[in-house]
Amino acid sequence: MTRVVVDTNVFVSSFFGGKPRQIIDLWKTGKILLCLSSGIVDEYVEVLRRLTLENEVELRQLLRLFAKGHNIVFTHAAPALKVVSEDPDDDKFIECAVALDARYIVTGDKALLALKNYMGIRIRSPHEFLMGMMGDE
């Protein structure tokens, strides 16, 4: 199963449909393995708490899937890396991907996308990721 780190902007956008929702659906149906760290989960929760989401049922469902560890791998010991000089807060996504040997980071963040690859980890937009999954990039 393909290991994927999903940036917060993609995760939160999934609540509104489109390609981010398709990516989260791949996780829910067991087609990808979601890679997480405590820093990523903390950011997901912080951003979701700030938003007023219309679909609270879906939010509860996602939190239950997290709690059960549904198609998730989690790292407690990610390396400390300094890669994204424009936004050091984004380093947590690269750290998680390195620690868990992820194949992809899916993001809408320009600073991360500018890297394209890091240590063999492909950094892709939701559209690029979905196209790559279909063609097994």
CB within 8 A of 51, min separation 6: which ones? 12, 15
Sign of torsion over alpha carbons 26, 88, 78, 63: negative
Query: Over pLDDT 70: what percentage of the chain?
Result: 88
Q: Residue 53's pLDDT is what?
A: 59
| Residue 109: pLDDT over 60 | yes
pLDDT above 80 for 120:
yes
Give residue 15's pLDDT: 82
pTM of the entire predicted model: 0.87
Secondary structure of residue 103 in the 3-state scheme: coil
What gap in Å lies between CA 112 and CA 90, rounded to an integer? 7
- How confident is residue 88, by pLDDT bands cut at 50, 70 and 90? low
Rounded Cα distance, 49 and 69, in Å: 21
pLDDT of 113 over the 90 cut: yes
Tens of pLDDT, residues 13-47: 988 899 999 999 999 899 999 999 989 988 987 88
22 membership: H or E segment, kind and range: helix 18-28
d(CA 19, CA 33): 17
- Per the model's pLDDT, the better-predicted residue between 16 and 64 turns out to be 16
pLDDT at residue 63 is higher than 90: no
Task: Give the single-character DSSP code of 54.
Answer: S
Mean per-residue pLDDT of the chain = 86
Query: What are the residues whose beta carbons fall under 8 Å from the beta carbon of 12, sequence distance 6 or more?
Result: 20, 44, 47, 48, 51
Mean of pLDDT values over 36-62: 78
